[in-house]
Structure 1
Amino acid sequence: MIRAFASRKVAELVVSGHFKAESLQSLCIGSVTFEHAYRTLGIVTCELFNGCFARTPSAVHTLTMTRCGPASVLKVLQSLPPPSDRDEGQALTALDVRNCDITGLPELIVSQLTALTSFQLSECRKLATLPSSLGQLTSLRALAITGRSRIVPLPDSLGQLTALTALNLSQCTGLTALPDSPDSLCLLTALVSLNLCGCRGLSGLPASLGQLAALTELNLSECAQLTRLPDSLRRLTALRTLAMVSCTASAALSASEYSLGQLAALTVLDMTECRKLARLPESLGRLTALTTLNLHTCKALTCLPETVGGLAALTRLNLTRCRMLTRLPESVSQLIALRELTLDMCTRLTSLPDSLGQLQALTVLDLTKCRNLARLPESLGRLAALATLDLHMCDALVCLPETVGGLAALTKLNLARCHALTRLPESIGDLVALRELSVDSCTRLASLPEALGQLQALTALYVPHRRALTRLPESLAELTRLTTLDADGCNNLVRLPEQLGHIGAITKLHLRGCNRLAGLPDSIGRLTALTALELGACSALTALPDSLGRLAALTSLGVTQCGRLAALPESLGQLTALPSLDLSDCRALTSLPVSLGQLTALQTLNLSRCAALVALPDTLGQLAALTALNLTDCCALTALPRSMGELTALTRLSLKKCCALAALPDTVRSLAQLTKVNVEGCQRAVAAELRSLDAVRTVMHPSNFKSKMMVNTERGS
């Protein structure tokens, strides 16, 4: 198969499959001649060429071979014209061999690729050797040999690639050492990037590494056998990024205490998942250009050196899952540029230094799951730039310092699952920028301070699963920007503030599982922006206020498992935007309001297990958009209204266990869209009536409902 990209001047040609042309030089498709017309040639999954490629056109600058057999690769390379046959400016500059089953490359052919600037050998898993002639590619700037090749030694001639700026040997799992001879690696004085990620057999680095004076990026991640760094590392004065992610054998960063500190240009040091790293050298503090220090999951690290305070440019310090870390040095307060400090899951950390308040640039402090952190320093309130404070699951934290009110820039405060927290300070009302506050599952927090009403910027308040909470402060009504109030599972909450309706911006009100809440304030009708009201499992709720009908924007109303709810207000019909109504398990509900028919947007109506429901209103037929009606286990329902035949959009109907239902109205014949009906547990007469309908193909008899639950009805044309 041949694919050409572009129009009359073809820039790229891809050949795939068993292509059998005699020569691509004379190949024409339509009015497009490929000779000297394309600069990129891609060959995909070609096992045999049968004489193809007598000579690859000299205009080709980029050649890619993917999933080709060794014979095909050899033929293509042999077809390349020698440098003497090419015009000036016409030479192959990029060669990419991917997923090809080659074990090596011919010395002679490689030596002729003198114009190459980019050479990639990726996922060639049988590749065992590189030709010595590789050193003759003196124009080469990028060399990549990646993807689990079998290469063990690299040729010493590598040092002749004096123009090389990027060397990528990632995932060369068989590589055990780099060449250390005087005429090899150390001569790559232009090298900027060296990637050894995933060289899992590499146990050490040569001393000559220090002669790579231009090196700015060194990636040693996943070198699982690497136990030490050479002292010559200190001579890499241009190095800006050092990555040692998952170097699991490294117990110390360097054999020399001083080498690391001499990397004056280093800006990023990533030691993520160095699980045996027990200490950092004191010289760390001399890395005055370092901006990011990542020690995520260094599980053996017990402390940071006091010299860490010398990292004057540090903006991000990540100590997540350093589970042996018991304290931070006082010198951490000297990190004047620090913007983000992450201590997530430092489970042995019991306190923070009192000098923490000196971190004037700090915007994020993450203490998630610091389960033994019992207190926060009073100086916390001096963190004037702090925007996010995350204390999620700090189980031992009893209170916040009064000074917390000084966090003038704080926008997010997460106290979820702080199970020992008994109160919030009144000074919390001074957090004038706070937009999100979560006290989810703070089970001992019995009340919220009235000062909460001063949080004029607050848009989201999460107080769910607060068993001790009996009321919400009246000042809540002053939160004029609040859009989300989540009090799900507050099973001792008795009432809501009378002035709740003053929160004009609220769009989501969640009260699910507030099983002592007996009613809603009439002012709820003033929440004209409310789109979601969740009242599920409010088992003490006996009625809904008439003002409910004024919630014109409501699109989600959940009233499931309200076991004492006996009636719905007539104003329900005013909720004309409501697409679904779930009243399942409202076992005391005896009837539905006549206004139900006004819900013109209603698509699903769930009345399952409304065991006391004896009838449906005739206005049911006005629900022109209704597609699903669930009456499962409505065991007191004796008849369906004739207007049901007007539900022309209805596709699903469940009458499961409607055991008192003796017959269906004859108007059911008009339900042309009905495709699924469940009549399990109904009287036999109901199934018989469905069988009598001409368009019904299958009726499941009640006694046969062991495996199939739905009756499928298919309408003919």
Structure 2
Amino acid sequence: MANGFIKPEGNLEVEDVGYKVWKKLYGRSFFQEAKSDEFDIITSFKMHDLFHDVAQSIVGEECVVYGKTKLTDLSTKVHHLHSFISNEYESVTKTSLDRVESLRTFLDDSYCYDKNVPLLPLNNSLRALKISSRQIPLLMDLTHLRYLNLRKSYVTCLPRSICRLKKLQILKLEGCSALVRLSKHLTQLQDLRQILINRCGSLLVTPPKMGKLRHLKTLSKFIVGSKSGYGLEELHGLKLGGKLHIKGLENVPSEGNAKEANLISKRELNRLYLSWGRSEGSNVNAERVLEGLEPPSTLKSFGMNGYKGKQLSRWMRNPSILKDLVDIILYKCVNCKELPPLGKLAHLKRLYVHGMKDVKHIDSESYDGVEEKAFPSLEEFVMRNLPNLERILRDEGVEMLPRLSILRINGVPKLQFPSLPSVEELDAREIENEGSFMEGVVGNLPRLKSLYIISFSKLKVLPEQLGRLGALEELMIIECDELEAFPEHVLKGLTCLRRLEVYRCKKLKWLGEGLGHLACLEVFHVSRCPEVVALPSNMNQLTALREVTISGTLLECLQGVLSLQRLVIKHCSSLPEWLGDMTSLRELRLARCSELRSLPSSIQRLTNLSHLSIEDCPELEKRCKRETGQDWQYIAHIPQVRVVSSSNTITCCDTIRYIWTACNTAGMCSALDFWEHDTPMNQFDRIVE
């Protein structure tokens, strides 16, 4: 689109023509192995290597893609340039870029924290531009620009110069965490067809009079305001498709205003998300507003956040409207007492229910007939902060969840575990009665392969029942503050365990000799467990062990473990000479070792070592400086050496400065106003983006 290679044909929009061309090329095997997400959207595909070689020979010097080294010599004939190098250096020199006579495409993915203003070519022939930098340069001279992707910028407001790009068709904003508002003049860009906003969690307002953008086909986020020009009526005539997240619904005064959005006519929509913010003192009837937001029956994904009504709308109980849904998120609908008949949705694959204090059953419908199954296609199920949830189905006499593979639960103290023979992954958080919980797990999840135990506040010793999970391959234990020990026989029973990770268990003292009997163990991480000062003496029996993360105090326990390929060491004051005996090591990472003053000379014996990362180790930074550091002689043979200074991390001062700037930009009196409006990038936003 940006370079004019495809154009509208008759009644076909340019996007449809592009898809038609892609399908033709795919049908002729020019493209292969296409992969789609759960919404049937193509996410990736490959080009046959023979076709790739032919295409490359045809374009010659016109197209350049690079990512391994800094590019210093560009042909003047380059038209399309893509960089995806990522380090502390600029990916291409300014001198080299200025030599290019007619650059049409410049996609720069070479983000690094210190890069303030990106390099841009001097000529104004660009049609497509992607830049990754903290600041946004002036762009008014790029009069032919049609595609603009701004990534990881720290600006709080889009510069007005963007509004002078009269031919711009696609505006994409990604990971601009400080962005509070877009330019109010954005509607001057009458050729805009797509506005895509992802991971910009601080955005408070969208521009007024968005309805003027007559050609707009995609608007991923729209924030309703209380002033004229910011209401839902702006969406009425837009033929939107793809994803639409409407925020600020507490500002909609009536059902009639909600109907002005005309969502039911937008049949190209496949993902719709509705969010209400805080509305203290408001007399708005959320139930009537929701009734007026009836969507088309084409949706694949639907979510609600912050809905204050007690009853759901009639259209949410209409199977013909919800029939194609594969994904549903109901988040903090705190007053709802019942959910729609979700178990009868034949295509539903993912269900997320969070923060509904009065719900007792996920599905209260009755099921007739021997053949009928509840949630026949559900694969992932998340239940969080449902204090009164008792059962998944009110009537559990029917077969349920035959395809469920991932189950995540948190804050469901009354839930009775049904039989779930297909579940392979369980993420359990904040469980108080760990004994009965583990009985339910062992008795009802026979195929469990991955278990995450997180924030079990009363857990002192790993339950004995855990040792009966013979199929378990991954065990992760996080923030169990009272946990003191691993009984030896529990670990011995986990004969298939391949991965064991333990984090932030502040009272844990001993992992048990059973650790050394895990013959299949490949990955072992233990971090921020200050009382663990030793590992079992039989660690050298773990011949399958490939990856380890430990603190420096435990390093001596790894002597003789020669199978390691990846080693992460944190908070270490010295490294032993026997480290050079780990000749299988391919990656070594040293992090937050403030007292570590040198590397052992034996590290030069690690001839298979291809990656060395040194992070926040101030003394080593000097000694490992390229070519001139005292320890450089020991690591010069390593292909990739990465030294990251603590000065490159985002500090508390950076965060305060960002909040202060955001408040001033939005015209708010204090940071308190900022947080009260909404939490930047809240959990619901993360889920839907």
TM-score range, shorter chain: 0.3 to 0.5
- The structure with higher relative contact order (CA 8 Å, sep 6+) is 2
TM-score w.r.t. structure 1 length?
0.46
The structure that is strand-richer by fraction is: 2
TM-score by length of 2: 0.48
Structure with higher Rg: it is 1
